[in-house]
A and B are shown apart, each in its own frame.
Chain A
């Protein structure tokens, strides 16, 4: 069993559903101030960590990862003390049943429930469970008791401990805490270019943090560090698996919102011992907002199975290769070709 880095474990275990990234925000600011020349934030609570470069012909480079994760938000209470909820970000309802969650800032424990299968009729069993029919059970016996523990609008995140199994890692928020982890590793060093490490908010609800960040920061190039879909499961054909765990970091060609900058892709490939292409044109990330500002932008992702669910799975080897590749590229300078 491989050893799990404490920084990654801390980051993934923190709750930061889109719109409520405070815990990850504080953790990263506290971590980065040991290394940064300057740290700025904005009204959205994006973080900008500045590190000056040593290169003679240095450029301004942004490395970007989002702090938020998908989750739930409490929308009402039942008279019996259960919580009704809505999803925040893209979550398939079928992954929610019987899952443990933490609700609110006090981390109230809850279980997601629905009418028992024994009570459903044939037609109901054929359908996918509906979010509207689910509730969070926090063990309260009345609306009044539930309202003492939880507020309307509280966020709920999955109660999943980050850890290792076999040769892989599991955790609830590798999307995109693994990107934050890579940035936290890189910002310890001084590189050729001036680098802004940008930790964004609200990616899962429409690239909102990155939309603001791209107007606050004037840079030449941007790499978005992400996690991405991976369906390398039995019976999935080569045209459907998208990426494979263990085959290295993933370069996007074109997704739903961005055509990746070819020059930046090539520069990353030149520095990376092993990489793969994302074999799908679906999905999208902060690059979709950033490149519209006129910044050359590309995405490098870590393949993650079961993304946008209570637990996702990654390979630490993919992460290590990615960090080494960026370390090599940034040491030379992104646009410094000898």
Chain B
């Protein structure tokens, strides 16, 4: 369900409204718009954070049914990619067929006026069968579901901040602001990783405090070390003992309009949350 809600990076209002309905405890928004649940406790201050946004197509100017745009995110925009903007459809077009990734615009089906700043998303249909789940930012959606459960049910010792991060695809702006305000002792975050794997979650972790003050990327600065293990107990132990942990969720076609995960990956995410928290 969450996968079907448009959540362009920088314009996450709709999904936040939806998340607030699913979260039964008090929430607040920080200055950049992260949606935060604080589960107060006497233990370590831990920030659990995951991006709720997806690639954004931001309209900048318009010539009849041509919209010139800015793209925030990592997905590849090939001509023919279907874009949904302002509840209307359009397709990525290129001025020069020989350079399909340059000088692009959106050819809209209608020529209704689109206000500059309006955000669109790449169209991606939700689909599920016995093996796979397909949809927009589907790896993160599985994590977000677990974060909602945790927000509603956690009663442990940790001083836990559960952060539904905005602008994660814009150089992790939401994470930079959240870590600045919360100043956590430990941070656990998730990112989608292009991989056909289903047996394990890739783990990166950093020992040492990451200061976002210099404005550098949350992850680049961390000197992350790849780590992987098929035993979730070991993985969870590693996460618990690292100052910053980045849990990679293996996603097929992560940089294409529609991405897939194995159902087993979803189950492993649920299990990992169970062990850690």
A interface residues, Cβ below 8 angstroms from B: 207, 211, 215, 238-239, 253-254, 257-259, 262, 265, 277-281, 288-289, 291-296
Contact = CB atoms under 8 A, between A and B. Distances in A.
A294 B31 contact: yes
A258 B9 CA distance: 12
Nearest to A212: B213
Contacts of B30: 294
Contact of B31 (A279, A289, A295): A295
Nearest to A263: B33
20 contacts: A215-B213, A253-B70, A257-B171, A257-B215, A259-B167, A259-B173, A277-B117, A278-B60, A279-B60, A281-B71, A289-B215, A291-B173, A291-B177, A292-B176, A292-B213, A292-B215, A293-B177, A293-B180, A294-B31, A294-B32
B70 A211 contact: no
B232 interface: no
Given A259-B10, A294-B32, A280 B60 contact: yes
A260 to B, nearest CB: 9
Interface of B: 9-10, 30-32, 58, 60-61, 63, 68, 70-72, 105, 116-117, 167, 170-171, 173, 176-177, 180-181, 212-215
Contacts of B176: 292
Contact of A238 (B58, B61, B212): B61
B61 A294 contact: no
A239 B93 CA distance: 14
Q: Which of A215, A281, A289 has the most CB of B within 10 A?
A: A281
A289 B10 CA distance: 17
Nearest to B13: A262
Contacts of A207: 215
A279 B58 CA distance: 10
Which 9 interchain pairs have the tightest Cβ spacing?
A281-B70, A239-B68, A277-B116, A259-B10, A279-B60, A279-B61, A294-B31, A253-B117, A294-B181
Contacts of A288: 215
Contacts of A278: 60
A330 B103 CA distance: 40
A16 to B, nearest CB: 23
Given A277-B117, A294-B32, 10 more contacts: A238-B63, A238-B68, A239-B63, A253-B117, A254-B170, A259-B173, A262-B117, A265-B117, A291-B32, A293-B177
A280 B30 CA distance: 27
A258 B176 CA distance: 12
A270 B117 CA distance: 16
A291 B171 CA distance: 13
Q: Which of B30, B61, B105, B180 has the most CB of A within 10 A?
A: B61
B60 A253 contact: yes
A281 B11 CA distance: 15
Given A259-B10, A280-B70, A281-B60, A292 B116 contact: no
Contacts of B68: 238-239, 279
Given A239-B105, A294-B31, A294-B32, A254 B10 contact: yes
Contacts of B213: 211, 215, 292
A216 to B, nearest CB: 12
A278 B60 CA distance: 7
Nearest to B66: A239
Nearest to A214: B213
Contacts of A265: 117
B105 A254 contact: no
A262 B167 CA distance: 14
Nearest to B70: A281
A211 B211 CA distance: 13
B33 to A, nearest CB: 9
B75 to A, nearest CB: 16
Given A253-B117, A259-B10, A211 B214 contact: yes
A259 B170 contact: yes
Contacts of B212: 292
A188 to B, nearest CB: 29
A98 to B, nearest CB: 33
Nearest to A241: B61
A292 B174 CA distance: 9
Contact of A254 (B32, B72, B214, B215): B72
A94 B213 CA distance: 35
Given A254-B70, A259-B173, A279-B68, A296 B58 contact: no
A13 B9 CA distance: 41
A225 to B, nearest CB: 20
A294 B177 contact: yes
Q: Which of B10, B32, B68, B177 has the most CB of A within 10 A?
A: B32
Contacts of B10: 254, 259
B49 to A, nearest CB: 15
Contacts of B105: 239
Contacts of A295: 31
A215 B211 CA distance: 13
Contacts of B170: 254, 259
Contact of B116 (A258, A262, A279, A291): A279
Contacts of B63: 238-239
Given A211-B213, A238-B68, A253-B116, A277 B177 contact: no
Contacts of B171: 257
Given A254-B10, A292-B177, A294-B181, A281 B215 contact: no
B58 A254 contact: yes
Nearest to A276: B116
B106 to A, nearest CB: 11
A279 to B, nearest CB: 4
A259 B180 CA distance: 17
